[in-house]
Amino acid sequence: MAEPEYTVESECETTEEGKSSSASSEVVIGIDIGTSQCSVAVWNGSEVELLKNTRNQPLIRFDVPVGNDIPLGEVNYHLSRKHERLSGASILNMKRLIGRVDTDRIVHASKNFPFLVQTLDVGVRPFIAALVNNVWKSTTPEEQQQHMLRDKTGRVGKRIALVFNMGAGFCDVAVADIDGGVTEIKALSGSEIGGEDLLENMMRHLLPSFDKLDIKSMGILRVAIQEAIHELSLEESVQIDVDLGNGSRLCKEVKREEFEEVNKFIFCESQILIVECMHNANVNVQDLTDVIVAGGCSCIPKIRNLVENLCEREIYKGMNPLTAAVYGTALEGALTSGIDDPLGDVDLLTSQVTALGIGIRSNRFEFVPVIPRNTTMPVHKEMIFTTFKDNQTEALIVVYEGEPELEDENHLLGYFKITGIPPALEGVPEINVGMDINASNELSVLARVIIPGSRQPVVPVMELKMPTVDDGHSCCNEVLDRAYGPTLDSMIVRRKNLSI
């Protein structure tokens, strides 16, 4: 087979020779941005190929060292990875902080990282900085990533697969129905638990006062315990002997049973996610034909055992758990770009579902879902609302994603105001709110006002792409409440059963 015409390299790895090599044709790649490492794969026309960098590394670390002589985002290979972590000059695990504000408990827990995470608790992005020449140099997490896992084993006949994905900063479970080349995601469940929680629990267990350590000592402790956790996946016990500086030393033997006991809550939460996902998908363990694990924590024996015990089936061994997500992104990218697959080597039609309900505020701070959780996409649904009081001429449409009934417990996506509603008695004007999610998972919200007896909207229809606010800006809720309260609220009338 001819060598594909593409190369993979970061700016910091590019040589003069490498710069002269460029792709002569369009190539779609999938990128898995993990919490602790990244990987890249490409659809080469017949199969997914995992790419390596110029150092023949398929899994690229997601540490960003910052220095006077290092442009932000580049890697200084003259410094060892351990040195960067210990000195506080490296930003790591940024995926865990992406999209979060400084009131988030995950952000507060991240203060134990070996770099500065400063919060003001006002609902804005946290201040994140690395220590360089005794100066805190800041950066801000701005990127987002999506990952999708596809299994090529379901080409023939109907198969039902459970996918368990646990990385350093997240854990999610999906149940997929594969039939005749079409993959439908039946249900999703997820949580913010992950390898970072396992690590922090062990740090707190072995050294309860670890949060009082300075940056360098905390970095030394993190590296030592992280290495111990990795070894416990292969050994029944491991010896930790590390000098923390300032006269402090940690010397202790840790057994696998001890590690599992310290983190029993995390493992229990993982089990709950599996049970919840299967329940939402209306699937029994007897229905499962495939069980797949992915993510950096999938090598932990306790994780593998609990997945196999709950699913009553062995884990599929034909896929590398560490690169499964990036394989999926490459396939998704190939599908999005409209690739040609004349041999039919890969199932390319995937139907996804909404992970959470999407709706608006109504009935005095109540969350009313317009699109329920686990609705197959693409979808279009509408719901009729009305005015909250007599002669109400404006209505505030506040869009949320979530499940709790109270709107302020959900995730704010955006808001807009409808004006020009003709004065009328409470409940007379109809406010039709429609939500549309296309195959690319893009949400549009439409609103129009109709007076009974009239077929046409009395004010121009409004259509907005969501989200319209930065992820996690809960302070917007408070601002809206102070400005309007329930005075511009709407009330639910009925649902229009429309879906596509």
Predicted confidence (pLDDT) per residue in 126-177, tens digit: 667 666 555 555 544 333 333 333 333 334 457 888 999 998 888 999 998 8
Q: What's CA 238's distance to the chain center, in Å?
A: 32
Domain assignment present for residue 72? The answer is no
Residues 466 and 327 in one domain: no
Residues 427 and 402 in one domain: yes
Residues 313 and 430 in one domain: no
Domain assignment present for residue 91? The answer is no
Q: Output the CA torsion 269→270→271→275 (10° steps).
A: 100
Domain ends where: 319, 351, 383?
351
Domain ends where: 303, 322, 351?
351
Domain assignment present for residue 32? The answer is no
3-state secondary structure 392-461: CCCEEEEEEEECCCEHHHCEEEEEEEECCCCCCCCCCCEEEEEEEECCCCCEEEEEEEECCCCCCCCCCC
Which one, of 435, 431, 433, 432, lies nearest residue 500 by Cα? 435
Tell if the pTM clears 0.75, that is, is over it: no
Domain ends where: 299, 319, 351?
351
How many residues in the chain? 500
Residues 460 and 315 in one domain: no
Going edge to edge, which strands form the sheet with 171-179?
Answer: 290-294, 159-166, 171-179, 182-191, 349-351
CATH number where 252 lies: 3.90.640.10
The count of structural domains within the chain is 3
Residues 235 and 375 in one domain: no
Domain assignment present for residue 54? The answer is no
Domain assignment present for residue 122? The answer is no
Give the tens place of pLDDT for each residue, 284-311: 999 998 898 988 888 899 999 999 999 9
Reading the block at residue 128, the tokens are: 């994140």
Residues 394 and 440 in one domain: yes
Residues 451 and 366 in one domain: yes
Distance between CA 324 and CA 251 in Å, rounded?
37
**Dihedral of CA 422/426/427/433: which sign?**
positive
Residues 392 and 487 in one domain: yes
CATH number where 453 lies: 2.60.34.10
Domain ranges, residue 326:
152-190+279-334+342-351
CA distances (Å), origin 258, targets 28, 45, 209, 230, 305: 45, 48, 19, 14, 16
Residues 180 and 200 in one domain: no
Averages of pLDDT over runs of 10 residues in the chain (500 residues) are: 40 43 62 76 83 72 54 42 56 71 75 68 62 54 33 52 89 84 80 90 89 84 91 92 85 93 94 93 90 89 93 85 74 62 49 82 84 86 89 86 78 80 88 85 85 76 74 59 63 54
Domain assignment present for residue 420? The answer is yes
Residues 217 and 319 in one domain: no
Domain assignment present for residue 444? The answer is yes
Reading the block at residue 472, the tokens are: 């996690």
Residues 169 and 314 in one domain: yes
Residues 437 and 475 in one domain: yes
Domain assignment present for residue 53? The answer is no
CATH number where 156 lies: 3.30.420.40
Going edge to edge, which strands form the sheet with 395-402?
Answer: 366-371, 357-362, 395-402, 411-418
